[in-house]
Structure 1
Amino acid sequence: MIFDVWAPNATAVEVETLDRRFPLTGRADGWWSLDVPDATHGTRYTYVLDGDGPYPDPRSRRQPEGVFGPSAVYDHARYTWADHDWTGRDLRGAVIYELHIGTFTPEGTFQAAAGRLDHLVELGVDFVEIMPVAPVPGARNWGYDGVDLYAVNETYGGPDGLKTFVDACHRAGIGVILDVVYNHLGPSGNFLHPFGPYFGGFEGSYWGEAVNLDGPGSDPVRRYFVDNALQWLRDYHIDGLRLDAVHALHDKRATHLLAELAEEVDALSCAVGRPLSLIAESDLNDPRMVRSLDAGGLGMTAQWNDDVHHALHTAVSGETHGYYADFAGLSALVKVLTRGVLHDGGHSSFRGRAHGRPYTGVPGHRLVACLQNHDQIGNRPMGDRLPMPALKLGAGLLLTSPFTPMLFMGEEWGAGTPFLFFSDHVEPHLRESEGERRKKEFDGFGYTWEAPDPSAEETFLRSKLDWQELKEEAHWSLLCWYRDLIALRRALPELTDPRLDRVRVETDPGGQWLVMWRGGVCVSVNFGTDTVTVPVPRGRVLLASDDPVTGDEEGTRLPGQSLVIHRPSG
């Protein structure tokens, strides 16, 4: 085994393994290396820098004893893949399903999640997007406190468990997107500081110190993150990465880290012969994020689109607090459905300034939209989900929209379990202050913040899906609605057409109904509780959330809180 580590400021580096310390040889570029032939797959090791340590490897492939334990040699070649016929999956026309490994099943492991893939196949999704799997302190976490970014959380099943899960997804015809965090590292178990200038020396965001992407010594730091991304795509056969909060990446270089990453991933895609996707989470509303490199963009395949979520949520829930205030009224929903975003240069009341740019010419498939996700549920004090009537209407609009739709685990059956924020920090000061930190983070969002203790195990256990709910008629009925919507989306080319300029939307001046045209297919929604007549000839009903749907050549009558997809006559 050849041990390599970047430690440019050290005068002596040793690897502690096999009950001995071995001195490494330094190079002018700050890298140190040594071949220890007796260190093989599974061998534990740590580094000692100028007598300080021991520390885990910054590029540790495995942390069998957690973030405070030693690293272990991990040989990727030992795993035998069974997905040789997998040619990948394109994001265009796809439906994504986001899940958290620890709460998706009672067991909370990769193996258990793989055992539920039949459910996802029957639902009709094309990708699963799993929340971060890097090692975290304790036994439970959303994943955004990760450290040892090259390793895989042992509580989920470690690196072999992740590979087994990806293998199973590919056999089922489902692609895998992995959520990765490059804008910060967790506050506990982060041992990068002694090795080199990995951080910029200032608070980059609410979540922690900024990563050094453009300061002195930043070349190897950038490489650290680029190589990490390539590892997941190459060695774990992952099909795409969701890049957390890229607006919190502080990079003033002429070539932004995201553009550098896009170029490298494109080259890897050519080498492995399958499409690889990069999906950015960005609140900048900047179309350059998803424009190609040769057009002066950052080259992301797609980006999360919060504006669509906010407009849908406001329309089906009636909530207008916090950042939902700008989205009150159906005019906001009309704009996002036809232009992609609401904030395209106009005033954002929540931010107190102008925000965004127009997305003219950007196809809808480059915008990942949702009715619910981990943030929008879990950032509510009680982690509460939308009720079933709201899900029915919202899903009907989302799954007939020009965007790339994403569902959140359990949404498809109207899960009654919450998705709360939870963590399990080891240090008492972090554990005891986590609840107060969350309260401060969401100051000004319009919530009365009375949330369960994030550190309590019960908070985590309450967030696990209850699969027994599927035995209840109401939950099963909603699941069938979601299945039918996805099947219809796949069957009708009009519903996957990403051209925003071909979407036509009409609304009731009173804010009760909306009609969206997708080619010759019409989606009519009644948000109110009273029966209404929309000015669309009845025609042939393709799918309806509620019966009866009546009408004539003058219009279609919709019961309260209902949605119908039809081809109007004439």
Structure 2
Amino acid sequence: MKPDTLSYRKLSYEDIGLWKNGSELLATVWAPFAKKVEIKIDDQKLMELRRNDYGIWEGSSSFREEYKEYSVILNGRERLPDPASKYLVNGVYGYSTIVDLDFKNNLDTGINIDLKNAVIYELHTGTFSEKGNFAGIKEKLDYLEKLGINVIELMPIAQFEGRRNWGYDGVFPYAVQNSYGSISELIKLVKDVHSRGISIILDVVYNHAGPRGNVLNSFGPYFSDKYKSLWGNATNFDGQWSDYVRNFYIQNAVYWIDFFGFDGLRLDAIHGIYDNSPVHFLKELRADVNKYFENSNKKPILIAESDANNPLTISSIDQCGFGMDAQWCDDFHHSIHSYLTGEGQGYYSDYGHSWQILKAMESGFVYRGEYSMFLKRTRGVRGKQISPSKLIVFSQNHDQVGNRKNSDRNGSYYGKEKSLLFGAICLLSPYVPMIFMGEEFFSKDHFWFFIDTDDATFADIVRKGRNEEFSYFTGNVDIPAPNSYEAFHESQLSWGVLNNNENLEYLRVYQQLIAIRKKYKLGYGVRFETTLIGEILNINYFIDKNSKLLCFFNLSGKSVNINHIKGDVIVSSTDNTLSNSKIEAYGFRVVFCCN
């Protein structure tokens, strides 16, 4: 019999794992090396599955209302949760919860994201609110709406060990983290977000998986020693049996968008996705997501995290690119951060010059084929100008806060003036701005790296690894152990600071900046020019033939004369400006003028 490869590679997410579908239970398990695969329902029923030519085992059974959980038995011995579990009520060491396909969110098509108009807010479910769950996010939606946010980005929520984790150690890509809430609560959150006219995207991790509670390799070669990453063996996207692995993760992307109603995804560290296939995994992912939603009104976006500065990441498939809608732009952050702080350790050693800030403002990427002293090789690609709506910029994000040795925020070492200046540069840039939770009210809370494991040996390995990772930082810092409750608790946002006038005023300026961005449509391709005279960075937006928006950013520690500027000041870094002719140290001013 001639193999039908399409039936192997193109399983829908509705055909992966086990679902209750009407009065039936339908099961599909990939275990190419198993001799026998069975499904055990609660402790009373066994469903024996049949194998096809591609290592896929399938079967069905009638459903009874008392059925709650199931597990997979390999070769009559090993009883494990399903790799495609949708929920694990007792966590990674429990069994899989039976989920009804009728949960599928058919009634809510979501809100298509226009990145030209987007102001993204990155948050971590566990530390964003006092409750630390989906319900806690819902209670803050009034606040986010008033701030002017129109896109929420959730850090990963796929099931990880314990109750506390950044989310990048998830081991069940399809399962909603049980400590955050139920499937129905997540669906309700997405609907509530949409009811405010706000879009919501999800951070997903396809380049690696966590080690604790990981059952994937017990079923098949999900990982390969062909490539190594920071997390060990890389995901098997191009080796033997990789067709199923590729489809497993592609359908995972479709699942989060279709079943829950997310408006798009942010793909973690795509430079850790190793694939030498004729069609790269990311290109196939983009094509399959497009195909799945082609007959609907839904247009999901895909945002990549990459430090390669490769324009092909955000070029269309027709242009031989990966087809991502946008990517994070580290160069923009690093050039400004290094200049304002003088930090030159690690990857910051490639930055620190004022001309790099100008270049970042003009083209996003600073390294476009130049030699990196840190990497000891050329970085980036010389090429055409990139559309600003394809680059996400930020003054803070979970990495740039959490992956510092002290996991401290800008406000703790920049001070108020520099922090507000950096935020203003991002929000008034032509690129897509992203705010990290709490940044907008001058939070000084740490964002420590944290985990929750009962394995003391593993906890100690993580602690030592984090210390070694930041060994290039000078000075001694008292870092809480990642497995301690302290590390998590100190990372929770302190909303009480909004009772302070200083924090409230800071928040009001952020609201003004977001409102200006939207009013003058700064991300919609408005023609702009940038200059750097001394340490004054200037962006001139030509709103129409008769008016301009002039943005001045003082990168120096002293006041600077700008007495030649005429027009109406619509926002500045302080209400107590030195005079109409000066801009204070590390201050900014936005002026609207007519010809």
**Pairwise TM-score range, normalised by the shorter structure:** over 0.9
Identity of aligned residues (%): 35
Tell me the distance in 2 between the aligned counterparts of 1:11 and 1:561. Answer: 68
Tell me the distance in 2 between the aligned counterparts of 1:515 and 1:223. Answer: 48
- More deviation, 90-99/518-527: 518-527
Q: Which residue of 1 aligns with 2:418?
A: 390
Query: Is 1:275 aligned with 2:302?
Result: no
Q: Which residue of 2 aligns with 1:46?
A: 71
Tell me the distance in 1 between the aligned counterparts of 2:465 and 2:349. Answer: 24
Q: Which residue of 2 aligns with 1:496?
A: 523
Q: Which amino acid aligns with 1:64?
A: V
Query: Is 1:460 aligned with 2:488?
Result: yes
What is the CA distance between 1:326 and its match in structure 2?
Answer: 2.1
Deviations 1:516-570 (A, max 9, x none): 2222221111233322114752322121112455778xxx421222100113565
What is the CA distance between 1:347 and its match in structure 2?
Answer: 1.4
> Does the CA-based 8 Å contact 1:98-1:408 persist in structure 2?
yes
> Does the CA-based 8 Å contact 2:303-2:325 persist in structure 1?
yes
Secondary structure of the 1:58 match is: coil
1:547–1:245 CA distance, 2 compared to 1 (3 A) = same
Q: Which residue of 2 aligns with 1:56?
A: 81
Deviations 1:352-375 (A, max 9, x none): 221111352320110011100000
- More deviation, 363-372/41-50: 41-50
Q: Which amino acid aligns with 1:310?
A: H
Deviations 1:219-244 (A, max 9, x none): 00100000100000100100010000
1:102 to 126, 143, 152: 126
Q: What's the TM-score, normalizing by structure 1?
A: 0.94
> Does the CA-based 8 Å contact 1:280-1:303 persist in structure 2?
yes
Tell me the distance in 2 between the aligned counterparts of 1:185 and 1:508. Answer: 47
Q: Which residue of 2 aligns with 1:7?
A: 31
Tell me the distance in 2 between the aligned counterparts of 1:260 and 1:314. Answer: 37
Q: Which residue of 1 aligns with 2:513?
A: 485
Q: Which residue of 2 aligns with 1:564?
A: 589
Q: Which residue of 1 aligns with 2:537?
A: 514
Q: What is the RMSD of the two structures over their aligned residues, measured on CA atoms?
A: 2.0
Tell me the distance in 2 between the aligned counterparts of 1:385 and 1:41. Answer: 50
Q: Which residue of 2 aligns with 1:285?
A: 309
Matches within 5 A, 1:439-478: 439-444=467-472, 450-478=478-506
Q: Which residue of 2 aligns with 1:233?
A: 257
What is the CA distance between 1:202 and its match in structure 2?
Answer: 4.7
Tell me the distance in 2 between the aligned counterparts of 1:132 and 1:221. Answer: 20
1:52–1:446 CA distance, 2 compared to 1 (3 A) = farther
Tell me the distance in 2 between the aligned counterparts of 1:162 and 1:536. Answer: 54
Secondary structure of the 1:177 match is: strand
2:453 to 420, 425, 430: 425
Give 5+ residue unaligned stretches, structure 2.
Answer: 1-24, 543-547
What is the CA distance between 1:449 and its match in structure 2?
Answer: 5.8
Tell me the distance in 2 between the aligned counterparts of 1:319 and 1:76. Answer: 52
Q: Which amino acid aligns with 1:514?
A: L
Q: Which amino acid aligns with 1:191?
A: V
Query: Is 1:188 aligned with 2:212?
Result: yes
Aligned length: 561
Tell me the distance in 2 between the aligned counterparts of 1:124 and 1:248. Answer: 34
Tell me the distance in 1 between the aligned counterparts of 2:215 and 2:59. Answer: 21
Q: What's the TM-score, normalizing by structure 2?
A: 0.90
What is the CA distance between 1:115 and its match in structure 2?
Answer: 0.7
Query: Is 1:358 aligned with 2:382?
Result: yes
2:60 to 31, 35, 44: 35
- More deviation, 15-24/281-290: 15-24
What is the CA distance between 1:271 and its match in structure 2?
Answer: 3.1
Deviations 1:134-171 (A, max 9, x none): 11111100000001110100100032221111111001
1:200–1:535 CA distance, 2 compared to 1 (3 A) = farther
2:248 to 211, 221, 224: 224
> Does the CA-based 8 Å contact 1:282-1:304 persist in structure 2?
yes
Deviations 1:274-326 (A, max 9, x none): 22100000111100000000011110000011011112222433333322222
Q: Which residue of 1 aligns with 2:5?
A: none
Deviations 1:488-533 (A, max 9, x none): 000013x22447xx44222234xx3222222222111123332211
What is the CA distance between 1:37 and its match in structure 2?
Answer: 0.8
- More deviation, 538-547/304-313: 538-547
Give 5+ residue unaligned stretches, structure 1.
Answer: none
Q: Which amino acid aligns with 1:225?
A: Y
